[in-house]
Structure 1
């Protein structure tokens, strides 16, 4: 069995932490980028985690093209398919097509290349949308109902891509094993100013946004999500399973703002106190795509559980407060706030 692991999307927020933790554990790591010009930046980002990234292999491959994928998976025991577009857009096809087609492209290459297991990064967006508000907790048996209720293009892309992955695996997977990780909102330190992903909300909060929207979210640390991917890659019992990555939630933006004001000193000087009414956020969302993606979340308090990952894989996420404080300090260290 090879000790080489492919991580797709090496320029990404989560992918860089997956690479760093794999290197630290002694794996030989290969990653993909859409351009060879990104190689030095990816190695520099991974090095910020305190590991030696000199041996990191980088191959050029794009989710929308077959080129490069057979070379990417060659001699790999496992693939962590982390790459997926996370952009605010009104063009759903621009997000859904690379998510769905890219996932099937990676799975096919992995099967044909003799890879043992693929761990696919889905989302809680594939778990709890399209359902009426409920008090019970969502778990791995729940699925988003696409087309029912408002949801962003990104949520649709994750729900459709994960369904497509399981359907493909059932019909065409052969000996390839599949496991899926469904993270809540991923926060925590970034390794590159170009890979801050969901930290945009934190950046806006620290930068003095005009008020605090009525948003509630599940929170999980990017480092813990990377750890769960590796556990799902290594554990025999993870094959054929979904694992929700959920540390705490729902946590409100109001609570996050209060935490920052209490613990971050001058860095939180611009954190707002007043709350934004939902009607105002909806109006702004008509003209601002990023804000528009938040509108379906206003006032929603969905709760999921990471108990399965804890029970089956021994996963132990850190407290949400540490995650959010590290998010803010990371943005400051990268020169993006403050």
Structure 2
């Protein structure tokens, strides 16, 4: 039997919420996929998430251990790869003593992956960046952010957003100065919602969980754009394969700006009894800011109060023909799958 010669894609950080959906989309599109994990202890968990997403044939999927903080195994990870989708990055959910604990691995990790990709003759790298690299630190900005915008790292912004900004800037600088023909595109998602396939999900989904469990009696006055994780995965594939995507950034957004209270209202409208604990009111900004002084986990939320975080998705739609689902559909998908996770954990 002839060995499968379909293009090989390396996906870094394969246990993450976005990465799992990218892997599913790649395999569905007949690519071979090699996945990096920081620890192989999570291999079975990742397989279970993929199975939950509908994967039945694991033949074109392989795993390799590689960590953003070490050179070990990266040359093996990229060997023979046609493309790299670099999703791995430090998570904002963890509490760090100082910002460099988040910034240094994000920036150094990107450069480590790009160097390995260049040396292995990879055609293109797609970097999963974030809205946090586009629209943060501009207190008086009005109107939708576009791919021309960059976050202001000199402002007082959360280390996660700073890490995303500095990592993406380092990537573009590397391509310009030392890329040697390696192509790069970035995808910058806003708040990522959509079907949750396991215990690893985005920080946007954590707020949904807190609402459903009744841990939030009222919600902060934050206005954000949202996107479905399945559409984020689709945009990564378009950014990977389309000639027009080389050298470009793409905001992944449904381009609908919703308050957290509107998200809560969508959950209540569509989930019935399962949403009985979802809050109906908003917290005064002062309360959130004072609470954030004592609770580090609230600091990123507090920094976004009163900010215009609306985005345009016109570039991805125009250049790549990308057509995302509505924010409402993405939020409903998160809510329904989160309800199942909560029920399963209660039963266990």
1:134 is displaced (CA, Å) by: 2.9
Return 137-146 or 62-71, whichever deviates more. 137-146
Q: Is the 8 A contact 2:34 2:63 kept in 1?
A: yes
Matched, 1:326 2:333: yes
The equivalent of 2:248 in structure 1 is 241
The answer as to 2:84 corresponding to 1:68 is no
* 2:265 aligned residue (244, 249, 258): 258
Is 1:267 the counterpart of 2:274? The answer is: yes
Please give the residue correspondences for 1:275-290 in structure 2 after superposition, counting only pairs within 5 Å: 275-290=282-297
Specify the alignment match of 1:300 in structure 2: 307
Q: Could you give the per-residue CA deviations for residues 39-75 of structure 1, whole angstroms, max 9, x where no partner exists?
A: 1111111121112352210100000000011111110
1:274 is displaced (CA, Å) by: 2.2
1:139 corresponds in structure 2 to 146
- Cα deviation, 1:91-144, whole Å, max 9, x if unaligned, reads 211211111000000000000111000000111111112224233321111111
Q: Work out the CA distance in 1 between the residues paired with 2:173 and 2:200.
A: 33
State the Cα distance separating 1:248 from its structure 2 match: 2.7
Tell me the secondary structure at the aligned position of residue 70 of structure 1: helix
Match of 1:193 in 2: 199
196-205 vs 181-190, which deviates more?
196-205
Q: How far apart, CA to CA, are the structure 2 residues paired with 1:53 and 1:103?
A: 31
| Two-structure CA RMSD over aligned residues (Å) | 1.5
Q: Which deviates more from structure 2 when the two are superposed, residues 187-196 or residues 121-130? A: 187-196
Give the TM-score, by structure 2 length.
0.93
1:166 equivalent in structure 2: 172
Uncovered stretches (5+) of structure 1, i.e. residues with no partner = none
Q: Which runs of 5+ in 2 are unaligned?
A: none
Contact 1:13 1:195 in 2 (8 A): yes
**Cα distance in structure 1, aligned partners of 2:201 and 2:116:** 26
Equivalent residue, structure 2, for 1:34: 38
TM-score, normalising length: structure 1: 0.96
Q: Is 1:203 the counterpart of 2:205 in the alignment?
A: no
Q: 2:23 aligns with which of 19, 23, 30?
A: 19
Greater than 4 Å deviation, 4+ residue runs:
none
How many residues are treated as equivalent by the alignment?
A: 337
- The answer to whether structure 1 residue 87 and structure 2 residue 102 are counterparts is no
The residue that corresponds to 1:152 in the other structure is 158
